[in-house]
Structure 1
Amino acid sequence: MQTELNKVVEALRELYAHETFLFEKAVGERALTHRFAVYLEKQFSGWSVDCNYDRLGERTLHLPHGTIISTDDHLGKSIYPDVAVHQREIPNNLLVIEVRNATNHTPLEHDQHKLRALTDPHIWFAYWIGVLVVLAGKNVTMSEVYVGGVLDPVLSAWFAGRLQETGLGGSP
């Protein structure tokens, strides 16, 4: 898992190195997420990297009933991960990332709940790893790693340490 997380760190390093304009202009999360996905795609050769991808093979990705997550669709059931690293047709789900702008005032629990669900092996074809990053103008202000439907404190601390080593911040 550290190999995959190192690739996320490299993509974040590229994002901060080449997209200062976006941070200076305080653009929305979707613009940041798209550019991050571009850099992430360079790290994951042979994998598809998609933003807001709501499918598992031919099926629409749905959360279980009674969830706290609000969604963009009219039925309020579909889930749209910010960035997914996967193989679309199989499905083979490697990595899911929720990106938050530090100025986002919606509850953090929204993204945390989504990552727990997306990595839960009892719900769907779960993603192997889930990552939450909160991006500020100069660095990552917070990060978490989810595995098996739960927050992984050891990997979260390791990931935050890697972000700090590269000058990107990242407290767990």
Structure 2
Amino acid sequence: MQTELNKVIAALRDFYAHEGFLFEKDIGERAITHRFAVYLERQFSGWAVDCNYDRLGERTLHLPHGTIISTDDHLGKSIYPDVAVHQREIPNNLLTVEIRKASNHTPLEHDQHKLRALTDVHVWFPYWIGVLLVLDRQHVTMSEVYVSGLVDDPLSRWFATRLAESGLAAAH
């Protein structure tokens, strides 16, 4: 998993090197997510990298009723991953990334719940790794790594340390 997370760090490094305009002009999260996906795609040759992908193989992605996450994307609060690194046809789901701007004041629990659901081994073809990134104009202000439906604390600490060593996050 560290190999995949190092690729996320490389994509973040390129993203911050070229996309400062998005933060200077306070552009929305969906545009930021798309531009990050462009850099992430360069790191994962042989994989499809999509934003807001709503399928698991031939099936439309839905969660059980009663969940706090909606499959209706008109409110921008869907289960669809912000960024998915996967093989569409098989399906083989490697990595999902949720991106938030640090200035977003909606509850973080939405994205956390979404990542728990998307990496849950009881879901049909879950993502192997989930990453939550909270971004400001200069660096990552918060990150978490999800595996098997839970925050993986050791991997989250490792990832945060690597981000800090790369100059992409404040040191702890």
TM-score by length of 1: 0.94
Q: Is the 8 A contact 1:134 1:143 kept in 2?
A: yes
Alignment partners' CA distance in 1, 2:64 and 2:161: 34
| Corresponding residue for residue 85 of structure 1 | 85
Q: Deviations over 1:131-152 (max 9, x none)?
A: 0000001000000000000000
Distance 1:163 1:121 in 2: 27
- Structure 1 stretch 59-68 or stretch 89-98: which is displaced more? 59-68
Matched with 1:162 is 162
Q: In 2, are the aligned partners of 1:23 and 1:136 still within 8 Å (CA)?
A: yes
Letter in 2 for 1:139: H
Query: In the alignment, which residue of structure 2 is the partner of 1:122?
Result: 122
**Contact in 1 for aligned 2:70/2:78 (Cα 8 Å):** no
Map 1:65-84 → 2, pairs under 5 A: 65-73=65-73, 79-84=79-84
Counterpart CA distance in 1 for 2:165 and 2:64 is 38
Asked if 2 retains the 8 angstrom alpha-carbon contact of 1:131 and 1:144, the reply is yes
CA distance in 2, matches of 1:128, 1:151: 12
What is the distance in 2 between the residues matched to 1:12 and 1:78?
Answer: 24
CA distance in 2 between partners of 1:110 and 1:130 (Å)? 14
Aligned amino acid, residue 53 of structure 1: Y
Q: Which residue identity is paired with 2:111?
A: D
Q: CA deviation at 1:23?
A: 1.3
Letter in 2 for 1:131: V
Q: Cα gap change, 1:41/1:8 in structure 2, threshold over 3 Å: closer, same or farther?
A: same
**Structure 1 residues 163, 56: CA separation in 2 closer, same or farther (over 3 Å shift)?**
same
What SS does the corresponding residue of 2:154 show, helix, strand or coil? Answer: helix
Identical counterparts, % of pairs: 79
TM-score, length basis structure 2: 0.94
**Structure 1 counterpart of 2:149:** 149
Cα displacement (A) at 1:67: 0.6
Runs of 4+ in 1 over 3 A off after TM superposition: 70-74
1:97 and 2:97 correspond:
yes
What are the residue-to-residue correspondences of 1:8-47 with 2, within 5 Å? 8-47=8-47
Rate the CA distance shift 1:78–1:18 in 2: closer, same or farther, 3 A: closer
- State how many pairs are aligned: 171
- Backbone CA RMSD of aligned residues: 1.8
Provide the C-alpha distance between the structure 2 equivalents of 1:84 and 1:70, rounded to a whole number of angstroms: 18
